[in-house]
Amino acid sequence: MADFLLLLSDDRLNISSPEKSVPSLGLMYLASALEDNGFSVAIRDLRLELEARDKEDVLLELIKEFSPKAVGVSILTFSAAQAYETARIIRKHFPKILLIAGGIHPTFVPNGCLGFFDIVVRGYGEKPIVNIGEYLEGRKKLGDIPGISYNEGGKCVHNESGEMTPPCGIPAWHLASVEKYSSNNRFAIITGRGCPFLCNYCTCSAISNKRYFPREMGSVLEEIRLLIGEYGAKQITFLDDTFTLDRKRAIEVCRAIGENGLHFGWSCYCRVDTVDAELLEAMKNAGCKAIHFGVESGNRKILFETRKGITLEQAEAAVATSKAAGISEIICSFIIGHAKDTEETIVDTVAFACRLKELGATVITVSMLIPYPGSEVWDKRKELGIKVHARDWNFTHEQCAISTKNLSRENIEFLYYNFVLPYLNPKEVIATAKHDKNAG
């Protein structure tokens, strides 16, 4: 039995397959808040549960096992169509169960989700989910819960946004079925949530309302100790949007790892304008093995248009300095299909990626732009001349979902598969081809 069953949605190709992935920190944080307030919770990752099994059978079994009062589903844009299907199946068999949607997609597409769910939680969910538990016990009214949207009399009601500050506690790792993922020995942790930047393709700052919330150092260290001691973690990804956003704090984290004798390899995401030789050396000494930089375009004008606020020179310096510091994996990511990209600017991107490889980048990743709800390119898509072709969010990152003023959908996809990937990453082309075949 559980008051709440929290599900991580499956997606069309299960591209976030568990062997490459980690348990959902979002759901573990929600579970921790619920448990602290006396509610019982179970977490299931539908990507794991559905492997070669009928979705309806799996959902019926889960509901029978836990008899939850409420089912919450965590949804990204890529998994929205599958999450709607989950809600439809549960509703058909168990109309009395309260269906709750949360995560990045529902936050920015609440009305769409309310076609399938009773309640949408917008933004960080720890406080609203506890309030929803109180509502289920008759202690609270939906109208009094900040940060939610819900159906009432055939209309979508959007309550005011709630206080955004996330709690500082430790996510409920004991509910995550860690053993199911542990073959890859990969764990993830957040030392600070949110991002104040305004990159036009990204939704991270929109969900945190452009704020950054560092976690207490003691809590970060306690979680690392738990992951190493209890689960044998050898590799941890710091999922902070920009680990090095606050330089002083990043150095403190590195120092604390060393002083507390915590031995593990870790990776993190950084902006190229937030690293320098001293910081990178501290990171390397504390066990940093891999660093991801978003570079986004190799063309100055296009890079400027993304509002990322970085320069090509900063990208070169960040890669060269990371190499000099001895970081073993330096991953640089780019996007093609920006609103003003042309064939020529995409050639610039490929040429610049090659330059970064010469300077020490070990992996280059390139994706085709997707205007995610909550991002500026989504809000301003008409003004920017971007057309979104995918319907009902039923698409994968392997297909181009847009056309721009300069490039058709076919153009972008052709350039991606026949020029960009073969030039930069031949292995990835082979992997993608295999994936397509498997998907039938």
Distance CA 205, CA 224 (A): 26
Q: Which residues contact 400 (CB under 8 A, 6 or more apart)?
A: 337, 368, 409, 410, 412, 413, 416
Burial of 64 (0-12, 13-18, 19+ CB in 10 A): exposed
Query: Which candidate, 412, 398, 397, places its Cα nearest to that of 341?
Result: 412
Which of 271, 284, 340, 409 contacts ligand SF4 by CB under 6 A?
271
Q: Which tokens go with 55?
A: 């979705």
- 39 contacts ligand B12 (rule: CB under 6 A): no
3-state secondary structure 196-224: CCCCCCCCHHHHCCCCCEECCHHHHHHHH
CB of 27 to ligand B12, least distance (A): 6
Strand, coil or helix: 294: strand
Which of 42, 71, 101, 204 contacts ligand SF4 by CB under 6 A?
204
Binding mask 78-107 for ligand B12 (x = CB under 6 A): xx--------------------x-xxxx--
Residue 166: name its binding partner from ligand SF4, ligand B12, none (Cβ under 5 to 8 Å by kind): ligand B12
Residues of this chain, 319-358, that bind ligand B12 according to CB under 6 A: none
Judged by beta carbon, residue 321 or residue 334, the one nearer ligand B12 is 334
Distance CA 390, CA 259 (A): 50
Which of 205, 244, 321, 406 contacts ligand SF4 by CB under 6 A?
205
Q: How many residues belong to the site for ligand SF4 (CB under 6 A)?
A: 11
Binding mask 300-329 for ligand SF4 (x = CB under 6 A): --------x---------------------
Distance CA 72, CA 132 (A): 11
CB of 151 to ligand B12, least distance (A): 16
Residues of this chain, 237-256, that bind ligand B12 according to CB under 6 A: 239, 241
Q: What does 116-153 look like in DSSP terms, one character per residue?
A: T-SEEE-S--HHHHHHHHHHHTTSS-GGG-TTEEEEET
- 202 contacts ligand B12 (rule: CB under 6 A): yes
Which of 132, 202, 224, 402 contacts ligand SF4 by CB under 6 A?
202
Binding site for ligand SF4 (CB under 6 A): 195, 197, 199, 202, 204-205, 241-242, 271, 294, 308
